[in-house]
Amino acid sequence: MPDQVEAEVARFCVLLKAIYADFGFAEFDVALSTRPAVRAGDDAVWDRAEAMLASAARTAGMDFTIQSGEGAFYGPKLEFHLLDRQGRKWQCGTIQLDFVLPERLGAAYVAEDGAKATPVMLHHAVLGSLERFIGILLEHYQGWLPTWLAPDQVVVANIGQEERAFADDTAFAFEGIGCRVLRDFRAERLPRKIFDARELAAPIAAVAGRREALAGEVSLRMRDGEQHVLTINDALAYLKQQARVPFATRVF
């Protein structure tokens, strides 16, 4: 219903802000694209639609610029431009207000007064093209995705073949909590395995040697060089936290 438009657009803006923050984009620009020269509908409809989007953006706490004439022929829109770590802008999210298409489709609902009324359509996208957004993420993180996004979250590597069974059990334990695990049980020296794990941009390398196998522990080596020697249970708790999917993105 038309009187729900501002609240729905504001809710979308708040959700979008939370999702972008989950992906590591703390900053983004907002633009209100207004009526083009060739358009459907009269000026009164456009005045109302543009005012609704502007009010909703302010309600969501968003400043915005005006892009005159950049709206779609059927209605104005809010555009959301992400800023990556190199300062480049990427247009991803949009929400568009459409008074025209519902009327052309003959869509109607029964209002509170019992009369038929024409609904308003909202077109929205958070990420845009998924493939393009993945490319933006890779550019933003320069290939080093956060643990929750990384294709291979943990590389489990044994030092000697006598620890292979323990390393395999450790990998199964990690998989049991939902981690994406790559096993590196090759007959290679450990420095080579660590190097290859970094080449894969894996956030964590879990090393199992003779000492770890005897103690029931695993050595977790992080991408920044930090290292933790933990019991398997403590390692599972640590990995659960590191690989946790952020709340807003999980809901989305």
pTM more than 0.85 = no
**Residue ranges of the chain whose pLDDT lies below 70:** 1-2, 248-252
pLDDT at 54: 92
Amino acid at 174: F
pLDDT given at position 250: 60
Compute the C-alpha angle 11/12/14, nearest 5°: 65
Rounded CA separation 238/148 (Å): 13
Place of tokens 């933006």: 136
pLDDT tens for each residue of 114-124: 888 888 889 99
Distance CA 103, CA 112 (A): 19
Confidence at residue 60, expressed as pLDDT on a 0 to 100 scale = 87
pLDDT of residue 248: 64
The residues near 129 (Cβ < 8 Å, ≥ 6 apart) are none
Q: How far is CA 30 from CA 70, 90, 107, in A?
A: 13, 11, 31
Tokens of 31: 């633009």
For the record, the structure tokens of 135 come out as: 């490319």
| 35 burial type by CB count under 10 A (0-12 exposed, 13-18 middle, 19+ buried) | buried
- pLDDT for the residue 249: 63
Domains of the chain with CATH codes: 2-141 (3.30.930.10), 154-251 (3.40.50.800)
Paired tokens of 73: 């022929």
